[in-house]
Amino acid sequence: MTPEVDIATHLHGLSTLGVTYTLQTNMFYGPERPASTVAPIIPEECLFICPIGGSAPEPYLNGGATSFYQVTVQLTLRAAVQDFMAGLTKARAILSALHSATVTGYTWCFAQNGDPVYIGPNAVGQPRWILNFELAKVQA
């Protein structure tokens, strides 16, 4: 089970407010990393996707041979310096695109917050938001 990959696959190529998310271009796995102009190139404005746990698997069928999994994935959106409102608008578009989305292989994908959570600027003044999503699936 790789929920971060599954979320990235769902978002890949999705255009929200003029931004198309492409893996390893402006969308990356793992926690937020500083912008870099040398390999690996990480732009100032981008999205990071990181699994952050979930509840313990629950036995579901066949005497526990099949289990019900709930996992949480956190997205961190980083906007341009002094571009708070544009960043917030993009974060809300991502929330809208993923909440109740049909993510291949999962029973559901639900936002865990009603609005993106502003976590303040980074060291160079870029505003940042997090969005948490819970995904569920039955798996042997």
Owning domain of residue 59: 3-139
The pLDDT tens digits for 97-127 are: 999 999 999 999 999 999 999 999 999 999 9
The CATH number of the domain where 49 resides is what?
Answer: 3.30.2000.10
Instruction: Count Cα neighbours of 119 within 13 Å in the Cβ-side half-sphere.
Output: 16
Mean pLDDT, rounded, of the chain: 91
Contacts of 38 (CB under 8 A, 6+ apart): none
The reported pLDDT for the residue numbered 1 is: 63
**48-73 b/e with 16+ CB inside 10 Å = b?**
bbbbeebeeeeeeeeeeeebebbbbb
Whole-number Cα distances in Å, 100 to 2, 46, 111, 112, 121: 19, 23, 8, 11, 29
The reported pLDDT for the residue numbered 84 is: 96
The pLDDT tens digits for 58-100 are: 887 677 678 889 999 999 999 999 999 999 999 999 999 999 9
Per DSSP, 41 falls in state P
- Flag the least confident range among 2-6, 43-47, 62-66, 131-135: 62-66
The reported pLDDT for the residue numbered 64 is: 67
Number of structural domains in the chain: 1
Could you tell me the end-to-end alpha-carbon distance of the chain, in angstroms, rounded to an integer?
A: 11
State the CB neighbour count (10 A cutoff) for residue 20. 13
